[in-house]
Chains A and B, each alone.
Chain A
Amino acid sequence: MLAALAGTAGGVSGLCGPFIDVPDTPFCRSILEIFTLGITVGTTPTTYTPDGVVNRLQAAVLLSRTIDSVLDRGSRAAALGQFWNPGNPAVLGYTTLPFRPISVKADGENIWVSNPPAVSRVRASDGKLLESWTGAPDAEFLLVAMGKVFVTGLNGSLYQVDPAQPAGSVTAVVTGLGAHPFRIAYDGGRIWTANINPGSISIISPGPSIPWTATTITAGFTDPNGILYDGSHIWVTEFQSGLLKKVGPSGAVLQTVTLEKDIGRPAFDGANLWVPTFNQAVLIVRAADGRLVTKLRENELIGPSIAAFDGRRMLIWNADFSAISLWRASDMTPIGAVAPPSDVVTDICSDGLHFWLALPNAGQIARF
Chain B
Amino acid sequence: MKERRLRPSPFILVLAAIGVLMAGAATTLSGVCGPFTDVGDDAFCPFLQEIFYLGITSGTSPTTYAPDEPVTRIQAAAFLSRTVDAALRMGSRRAAIGQFWTPRVQAALGQTEIGSGIYSVVSDGTDLWVSRLPDSVVRVRGSDGRVLETWTGVIGATQMLAAMGKIFVIGTNQPYGTHVLYRLDPSQPAGSATVVATELGDIPQSIAFDGTRIWTGNTNASISAILPTPTPPWRVTNLRFGFWSPTAVVFDGASLWAVDYAAKTLLRLEGGGILQTVTLGGLPELPIFDGASLWVPNQTFNAVSVVRASTGAILATLTAEGLFSPRSAAFDGERVMVTSSSRVCLWKASSLSPLGCYPFGAGAACSDGINFWLTMGTSLARF
Contacts and interface: CB of A to CB of B under 8 A. Distances in A.
Interface in B122-146: 126, 141-146
A307 to B, nearest CB: 11
Interface stretch (A59-67, A94-102, A315-323, A339-347): A59-67
Nearest to A73: B91
A145 B108 CA distance: 9
A147 to B, nearest CB: 2
A109 B125 CA distance: 10
Interface stretch (B44-52, B160-168, B210-218, B294-302): B44-52
Given A74-B91, A230-B100, A163 B79 contact: no
B17 interface: no
Interface residues of B, number: 77
Contacts of B176: none
A229 B382 CA distance: 19
Contacts of B23: 258
Contact of A186 (B49, B101, B110, B144): B101
A238 interface: no
Nearest to B126: A109
Contacts of B20: none
Contact of A297 (B7, B24, B93): B7
B28 A56 contact: no
A293 B52 contact: yes
Contacts of B74: none
Contacts of B368: 108
Interface string A78-100: 00000000000000000000000
B89 A61 contact: no
Given A70-B87, A269-B95, A349-B98, A147 B49 contact: no
A294 B143 contact: no
Contacts of B107: 206-208
A164 interface: yes
Contact of B146 (A65, A164, A186): A164
B184 to A, nearest CB: 20
B93 A56 contact: no
A231 B101 contact: yes
A64 B57 CA distance: 11
Given A188-B108, A296-B5, A64 B96 contact: no
B144 A147 contact: yes
A259 to B, nearest CB: 8
B283 to A, nearest CB: 32
A294 B71 contact: no
A85 to B, nearest CB: 16
Given A67-B83, A71-B90, A288-B55, A293 B34 contact: yes
B101 A332 contact: no
Interface stretch (B60-68, B149-157, B238-246): B60-68
Contacts of B87: 66-67, 70-71, 74
Contact of B76 (A59, A67, A189, A296): A59
A59 B96 contact: no
B109 interface: yes
Interface string A281-316: 001101010011111111000000000011110000
Contact of B90 (A61, A108, A284, A330): A330
B22 interface: yes
A56 B69 contact: yes
Nearest to A70: B87
A291 B145 CA distance: 39
Given A75-B91, A208-B107, A333-B5, A272 B98 contact: no
A164 B47 contact: no
24 contacts: A54-B70, A56-B65, A57-B65, A63-B83, A66-B83, A66-B87, A67-B83, A109-B126, A163-B143, A187-B101, A188-B101, A208-B107, A258-B23, A259-B22, A260-B22, A270-B90, A270-B100, A293-B34, A295-B29, A296-B6, A311-B92, A311-B95, A333-B5, A333-B46
Interface of B: 2-3, 5-9, 12, 22-25, 28-29, 34-35, 39, 44, 46-57, 65-71, 75-76, 79-80, 83, 86-87, 89-93, 95-105, 107-112, 126, 141-147, 368, 370, 382
Please name the 6 residue pairs, one residue from A and one from B, whose CB atoms are nearest each other, closest first. Answer: A147-B110, A163-B144, A352-B96, A311-B96, A164-B146, A109-B143
